[in-house]
Every structure is written in C-alpha cells, then in structure tokens.
Amino acid sequence: MADLTLNLHIWRQEGPGKPGKLVPYKAENVNPDMSFLEMIDVVNEDLILKGEDPIEFDSDCREGICGMCSLVINGVAHGPQHGTATCQLHMRHYRDGDTITIEPWRSSAFPIVKDLVVDRSSFDRIIQAGGFISISTGNAPDANALPVGKVDSDIAMDAAACIGCGACVAACPNASASLFTGAKITQFASLPQGAPERKMRVLRMVDQMDKEGFGNCSNHGECEAVCPKQISISTIALMKREYAKAALTAS
C-alpha cells in the first residue's frame, strides 16, 4: 500500500477553561502500517522543527491495555475499529486524501488539561467510593478455600477487563459513567469475595458517579459500541438491579 496524505482537523486548547478550536493540519507520507498515534507523532515532529507547539495527547502502553489514550476520531470515541483503543488503530484503515477530525473526550466530569488531554480523576474517585474488597494485606485465606464456579468467574473477568479509558462517557449523549461503574460492580457482585460489601458498594459508587457530574443511563448503548474491551451493557442492567435491591433493603 502506498503512503497516504491526510487532512487533519485537531482540537487545540491552551489549558483548562481556555477557548479551544479545531485547527487544520496536513499529514504527509503516512505509512499504512503506522498506528494512529504514530501518525500524530510524525505530525508533531514537523511542528517542533517548524517552531510550533506540538499537539498534546495522552498515551502510554500503546498496546491497548493501560487506558491512557483517549481520542474522538471523526466523532467516534477511539475511532472506527470495533473493540480497539486509539493506540491500536492503524492507518491501513484510511484512504489517501481522507479528512479526519480529532477531538478529546468531552464531558464536564473530564475537564480538558491541554489540547486532547483530559483529567479523568473522577474515575478514581468512583473506585475510592467502593470499588474494592476490604481485605488488608496478610488477612487472606488459602486461595482455593473458596471455589468460584467457572461461569461466575468468567462473568467477573469479562467485566474486570475494563481499562478505565472513559470512551463510554465520551460516547454517551448523557456523558454517563454507567458502563465503567457497572463493570466494576458486576465484577465484585459475581464473586463470593464481593458479597459482604455488595449493597454498600453499589450505593456509594452510584452516588459518587452522580456527584462527579456524570449523567444517567438512558439505554442508548453508545458506550458498549465504542468500548475497546467490549464490556457488555448488561453490566449496567445488573448495576441498576443491584442498586434497586440495595436501596430498597438498606436500613
């Protein structure tokens, strides 16, 4: 495949609360084997040599597991390839002359730091509210003392695969964090280890999600569609059931 030339429109914003706008850039000599982020790396190299400020974006592992990368590409969180984080999207999916718009996650609970970089500490605070099992180091019984059926264990693992990237929020018309929160609640609700704190956990985490300014879930399903780990929207249904049960039976 021949190299590509692309027309980029990239969100530039100096800092939090500052005005931002889409700025056009041309990306030339784009090798189809490049990843999307490598393509921006190359654009940045040119900008630096021209004495301009490079485009800031988050990325770390570049293998789809750390959850750091976070671009809305042509209106879709993480871009066009299903079940793929931005860092694993490759340029062979584009054609010469394509126009690509690149924006950050947009949600009031994810304030913009600079350009395409956002602050997702609200996710950490949702986990702090109850996304853990209270077991201090050294208290654990033998690992095989408590068998867990394979089906339950697999459900827990499917939910635990969440990388906390926030694409679900970026894609949701309500900017809801329900898929993120539901995934963690589903993981622990499926395991016997999670049982003692089950009610308290869902009440606190959902409460924190509201406090952070995330919207409610109204079943659009956009979150599931963009999730790079293909977390099922059924985790949200489970979270709602868990919440209802806990709210009704809480003393």
Partner 1 sequence: MILDSRIPDGPIEQKWDNRKRDLKLVNPANKRKHNVIVVGTGLAGASAAASLGEMGYNVQSFCIQDSPRRAHSIAAQGGINAAKNYPNDGDSVWRLFYDTVKGGDYRSREANVHRLAQLSNNIIDQCVAQGVPFARDYGGLLANRSFGGAQVSRTFYARGQTGQQLLLGAYSALMRQVSAGKVDLHPRFEMHDLVMVDGQARGIVGRDLVTGEIQRYVGDAVILATGGYGAVFYLSTNAINSNVTAAWRCHKRGALFANPCYTQIHPTCIPVSGDHQSKLTLMSESLRNDGRVWVPKEKGDRRSPDQIPEDDRDYYLERRYPSFGNLVPRDVASRNAKQVCDEGRGVGSTGLSVYLDFSDAINRMGEDVIRERYGNLFEMYERITGENPYKVPMRIYPAVHYTMGGLWVDYDLMSNVPGLFVLGEANFSDHGANRLGASALMQGLCDGYFVAPYTIGDYIASQDLAPIDTSHEAFDQSEKDVTDTITKLLSIQGKKTVREYHRELGLLMWEYVGMARNETGLAKVLEEIPKLREDFWQNVSVPGRADQFNKNLEMAGRLADFFELGELMARDALDRAESCGGHFREESQTDEGEALRKDDEFSYTAAWEYNGAGQSATLHKEELSFENVKLTQRSYK
Interaction residues for partner 1, span 49-68 (CB under 8 A)? 49, 51-54, 56, 58-68
Residue 135 burial (CB < 10 Å; 0-12/13-18/19+)? Answer: exposed
143 binds partner 1 (CB under 8 A): yes
Cβ at position 164, least distance to partner 1 in Å: 6
DSSP letters, 36-68, are HHHHHHHHHHHHHHTTPPPPP---SSSSSSS--
Indicate the residue among 24 and 196 with the shorter CB distance to partner 1: 196
- The C-alpha atoms of residue 19 and residue 110 are separated, in whole angstroms, by 16
Out of 19, 21, 75, 142, the only residue in the binding site for partner 1 (CB under 8 A) is: 142
Taking alpha carbons only, the member of 121, 110, 237, 106 closest to residue 172 is 106
Cβ at position 74, least distance to partner 1 in Å: 19
Residues 170-209 within binding reach of partner 1 (CB under 8 A) = 187-188, 191, 193-194
Out of 5, 99, 108, 153, the only residue in the binding site for partner 1 (CB under 8 A) is: 153
Task: Find out whether 178 and 140 touch, Cβ atoms under 8 Å.
Answer: no
Helices (H) and strands (E) in the chain, counts: 8, 7
Task: Find out whether 219 and 141 touch, Cβ atoms under 8 Å.
Answer: no
Residues 80-139 within binding reach of partner 1 (CB under 8 A) = 81, 83-84, 88, 90, 92, 113-114, 117, 119-121, 123-124, 127-129, 131-139
Indicate the residue among 198 and 220 with the shorter CB distance to partner 1: 198
- The C-alpha atoms of residue 211 and residue 37 are separated, in whole angstroms, by 33
**Per-residue x/- track, 208-247, partner 1 (CB under 8 A):** ----------------------------------------
Residue 103 parent element (H or E): strand 99-104
Indicate the residue among 109 and 117 with the shorter CB distance to partner 1: 117
Cβ at position 194, least distance to partner 1 in Å: 6
Enumerate residues 6+ apart whose C-beta is below 8 A from 241. Answer: none
Taking alpha carbons only, the member of 7, 206, 21, 48 closest to residue 112 is 21
Q: What phi and psi, each to the nearest 5 degrees, are found at residue 237?
A: -60, -45
Residues 18-37 within binding reach of partner 1 (CB under 8 A) = 31, 33-35, 37
Part in contact with partner 1 (CB under 8 A); list of ranges 46-54, 72-80, 209-217, 219-227: 46-54
DSSP letters, 6-27, are EEEEEEEESSTTS-EEEEEEEE
Indicate the residue among 23 and 218 with the shorter CB distance to partner 1: 23
Indicate the residue among 33 and 218 with the shorter CB distance to partner 1: 33
Out of 23, 24, 45, 80, the only residue in the binding site for partner 1 (CB under 8 A) is: 45
